[in-house]
């Protein structure tokens, strides 16, 4: 599996440990500022506080690759 289909539910990511993710998923999350230690401790990087329009091109592409749309990104509340 390259990247799982979140089917519009970004909450699926919260149920996974870093080790549960494929290398491609880890790569995309890394572009968004996550690293294994931050992920496993749920210590969110700065990108999580940004609106979609404030994400740079690479961050938007990474988020899109993970299944996010602008609407999902802007309306998702991390648990």
pLDDT digits (tens, 9 = 90+) for 18-70: 999 999 999 999 999 999 999 999 999 999 999 999 999 999 999 999 999 99
Is 64 within the bounds of a domain? yes
Q: Which is more confident, 78 or 9?
A: 9
Whole-number pLDDT of residue 1: 65
Is 1 within the bounds of a domain? no
Whole-number pLDDT of residue 77: 74
Task: Show the domain range for 37.
Answer: 18-75
User: What phi, psi does 35 have (nearest 5°)?
Assistant: -135, 165
Is 4 within the bounds of a domain? no
Is 63 within the bounds of a domain? yes
Is 3 within the bounds of a domain? no
Is 8 within the bounds of a domain? no
Is 6 within the bounds of a domain? no
DSSP characters over 11-71? GGGGG--GGGS-HHHHHHHHHTT--HHHHHHT---GGGGS-GGGS-HHHHHHHHHTT--HH
Q: Does 79 score more than 90 pLDDT? A: no
pTM value? 0.92
Whole-number pLDDT of residue 78: 62
Cα–Cα distances in angstroms (integers) from residue 58 to residues 14, 23, 35, 79, in the given order: 22, 17, 16, 24
Number of structural domains (the chain) is: 1
Is 61 within the bounds of a domain? yes
């Amino acid at each position: 599996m390259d990247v799982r289909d979140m089917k519009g539910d970004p909450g699926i990511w919260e149920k996974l440990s870093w080790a549960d993710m494929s290398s491609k998923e880890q790569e995309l999350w890394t572009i968004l500022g996550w690293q294994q230690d931050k992920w496993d401790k749920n210590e969110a990087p700065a990108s999580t506080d940004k609106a979609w329009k404030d994400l740079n091109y690479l961050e938007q592409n990474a988020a899109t690759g993970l299944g996010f749309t602008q609407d999902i990104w802007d309306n998702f509340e991390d648990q």
